[in-house]
Structure 1
Amino acid sequence: MKIDLSRLIDRAVYKIDFEHSLNLTKVSTKTGEIALAGPVNVKGSVYKTDENMYLDAKVSYEYYENCARCLKEFVNRVETVLSGRLMETSQLLDTDDDEFVFYYDNGEVELTEQVLTSILLSLPMKALCADNCRGLCLVCGKDLNKEECSCEIQEIDPRLAKLKDLFD
């Protein structure tokens, strides 16, 4: 996904809006692959200030996930932000700021790797199919979203679990 910056560099315009779709089927990680349910949409703008150029974009995508409570497969939708300063490849970063930098060369910036990185960083730690998902029964394994079970679950404070052994 390349964005032509020549009009900004020449100061013909001060802002370039863009919208791209990346047709990816999966994203590879060290632990496996993430299957995407549709294209990755990137919408944003590149703008020029007095001395610098900045990029602000919204990345949205859908991927297949298993619910952390009931293990049902569902499609999860995530939106994240991609933003930072643009610098030419030949320039060295002379600041110690926590600012993210995108490097461009020959008047074009390539954002595919940064989009993939933002996808990986925006994945939730625990995905739920619904906020009110009840999960699986700890005893019989029934899906509590579909049916009730008659299991009795005794919650014992783990600090007092050894005392229970004295009475058994």
Structure 2
Amino acid sequence: MEFRVMEVVSKGVEHSFNEELDMQELLGDRKDVLSASQLRASLAVRPFDGTAQVSGELSADLKMACSRCLEPAEEHIVIPIEERFAHVSAAKDINEDEDLIIVEEDKVDLRPYVEGTMLLYLPMSPLCSDDCKGLCPDCGINLNEQSCGCSQDVIDPRFEALKKLLE
């Protein structure tokens, strides 16, 4: 997924990319991601106001550990992506823009930008279902499968001394 910035900006050459990327190496250190499909990237590169604009979407199917009960949770994510690139030689002619990526080399590889966007949009606390009860904090039983006999009276530790006065 490479393109030349100056070729897009000066000649108006457009590119499109429909590729699948392996995410195993990218997500290898993440213990909450149990498995992942290929990352599908559908991107278009077009000239826009003296820059090369990349737009499109990324999608993937993930199996992640539920943040409450640790059971597998299926997630389908679709991520919109839009970036603008300008060569350092032409960047001084463009109004200052914080969303503009200035590149020194003419050739741009989109893979690092795609991977970074994917990591940013990963769900922080996936759930296996909206009404997941999670694990018992005392005995660790999955409360979705069975209930436990643990006391559910949660007392603020700062008031623990007051409870002893009532005994």
What TM-score, normalized by structure 2, do the two folds share?
Answer: 0.75
Equivalent residue number for residue 165 of structure 1: 164
1:92-131 maps to which residues of 2 (within 5 A)? 92=91, 95-101=95-101, 103=103, 105-106=105-106, 108-131=107-130
- How far residue 44 of structure 1 moved from its aligned partner, in angstroms, is 2.7
1:12-23 maps to which residues of 2 (within 5 A)? 15-23=14-22
Relative to structure 2, which stretch is displaced further, 134-143 or 95-104? 95-104
In the TM superposition, what whole-angstrom CA distance separates every residue of 1:33-89 from its partner, at most 9, and x where no partner exists? 456521111113222234222111212223342211101133433332321212125
CA contact (8 A) 1:17 1:45 kept: yes
1:25 aligned onto 2:24: yes
Matches of 2:150 and 2:34 in 1, distance apart? 36
Structure 2 counterpart of 1:26, one-letter code: E
CA contact (8 A) 1:27 1:36 kept: no
1:67-78 maps to which residues of 2 (within 5 A)? 67-78=66-77
Give 5+ residue unaligned stretches, structure 2.
Answer: none
CA contact (8 A) 1:19 1:43 kept: yes
Matches of 1:18 and 1:51 in 2, distance apart? 21
Equivalent residue number for residue 2 of structure 2: 2
Give 5+ residue unaligned stretches, structure 1.
Answer: none
In the TM superposition, what whole-angstrom CA distance separates every residue of 1:98-156 from its partner, at most 9, and x where no partner exists? 214164855x4311111111122222322222222111122332212122334331022
Q: CA RMSD in A?
A: 3.0
Secondary structure of the corresponding residue to residue 80 of structure 1: strand
What TM-score, normalized by structure 1, do the two folds share?
Answer: 0.75
Question: Could you tell me the percent identity over the aligned residues?
Answer: 26
Aligned pair count reads 163
Matches of 1:35 and 1:111 in 2, distance apart? 26
1:37-116 maps to which residues of 2 (within 5 A)? 37-88=36-87, 90-92=89-91, 95-101=95-101, 103=103, 105-106=105-106, 108-116=107-115
